[in-house]
Structure 1
Amino acid sequence: MDLELRHLKIVRAVADAGSLTRAATVLGLAQPALSTQLKRIERVLGGTLFVRGREGVRVTALGELVLERARVLLPAVCELQEDARRFARQDAHGYRLGGTHGPLLGGLVDRLAHHEPGVPVTTYTSWSEKEVAGGVADGRLDFALVGVCGESAPPEPGRLAWMEVARDPVYVMLAEDHPLALAARTEIDLAELAAEAWTDVPGDGCFGDCFAAACVRAGFTPACVYETDTASCVHLVQVGRAVGLCRATFPATPGVVTRPLAGAPLVWRHLLGWHPAARAAARAADVLAHARAAHAEALGRSAGAPALRAGPARRAAPWTAA
């Protein structure tokens, strides 16, 4: 019998668990079967790896040597498998885009399709920024178009390269007959909305916590927050059931008025991410330029455009893979 990677996984599992019983549970094996496997491995390696005792197992000097090598080899092989899968999945002549809710993904698709007719563009959407970033990290997607709150780190910061597309203040959505909308105010203080119910879309970033903290700074705690899809958020605002939070790129919508919050207590950063070792990385600069143009176009169509025309969105330094 030759030594295989699965044998090293067994040795590592026994050492990590500290007993054959616990290791068998982790590996999904019966304990007698694991004991037999371990004896075969020890015969191949020429010596005892573990000393069995009433309180578990103790690693021998030979076992320490094998574990030291296993802890180098197993992660390296795992990384090789990930890189191979990523390479095999990549399409050098197409774009696989992932994104969360918002108008920028559609705008990016439109621009890529217009500038490179005939080149396939596929999309994947999720409420989860982490899920979209994970798709890029493991090679299922080429680019991730997501957003984060304020200066928060993007998902997968150690594996993906990130560049800022744009940075916008968060707006509030009001029914067109809401008193603050009828007052034709150019901006609204968050404290003026203390008595309102709120609605927002879900996500797994820190935006909910940032919003709650901004409300506390304004002197109140939101009494009610309806977390639901975009269409339902808009409906709740239109009928006056709640006020909503939206990005500055939110398109003009019948029955809804958007206004910036005074002092910009919440900021949304649009980010584009990719894996620096993927073939798609060579196209990142072009895709980033298209994403920024798509943001400018979305902003021009939005209800909040006049308030942001005083200057371009500030762009921060890039996030890069470690």
Structure 2
Amino acid sequence: MEDSQPSPIKTIKGHEGVVWSVSFLPSGQEIVSASSDGSIRTWDIEIGEESGDALLGHERAVRSVALLLDGQRLVSGGMDKSVRVWDLGTRELVGRPWEGHSDTVSCVDVSLDSRFVASASYDSSVNIWDLDSGEKVFGEMRCDGLVDFIKFSRNGSKLVTCSGDAHVRIWDWREGIFLVGPMEGHEEDVYSAVWTFDDRQLISAGEYSEIRRCDSETGESIGEPVVAHEGYIYSLALSSDGSILASVSSDRTAKLWDASTLELLATFWHKGQAISVSFSPDNKLLATGCYDHLIYLWNVPQLEGNKQSENDSFLDVCPTACVDAELAADTS
């Protein structure tokens, strides 16, 4: 059942702009965040203070970060149209910025074998980069609107895109052709999606405030959509055991759902719009990044009897705040 007005266990202050992206490092002891103030920062969650120097170099808002599995490097994309790789040990840029987009880089993702990086842009394209060389290695994939979100499938062969034309597409990214879609159902911009562990299903959400499931092989809807918020849904995340779904919204809430039944478990209220979200590796904490420049930490309620979802194949996504150009322009 939903808790009544739970309070954050910690509020982290330090950014001077919207927190577009938050993610726990593999240790679970630190969070990395990216902001419209142009910085990427890491935070010690026990003391709630910054750990190490800020990663500086983007000329405008940093919209997205994606961690490599080793937790030692991360990839970022921003409104300066560049993609960058950073070493968290030295706090320095690795190589040169990658140039190839003509508009804001809204989202980045790293393949699970850490060989390739995908970048999505408001120029309606997706680029694929070789992580080691920094060279663009596969042709552009283009959507009919702004590309807000991308995510590699677990087996690495496919890529999902969510875009401003209200469609979800699944691509063979090596060939630059789409395999499934454009999927119908969403009525406005789609901002986020999650693959299942076996890559058979997707959960997606966006401007229309609905959470939808679909079959990733056919593109057909699974079950009825759930009206989850009273505003835009900016980002989704799944706990690593697949039992809990998190959503964050412009209605100033983060919500937790039983991933099997979509029963509401908790609502976390913020002072401003909730933009980005991440589960800790042990699924005991939730981090949210917000329009009010703050990062909030919340306790995650445990399902009764350690209940596992029927959909326990869900993967946790690398959270990214994927929002529309109008909001981005307001906070650049």
Fold equivalence (TM over 0.5): no
Report which of the two has the higher share of strand.
2
* More relative contact order, 1 or 2 (CA 8 Å, 6+ apart): 1
Report which of the two has the higher share of helix.
1
User: For this structure pair, what is the TM-score category when the shorter chain's length is used for normalisation?
Assistant: under 0.3
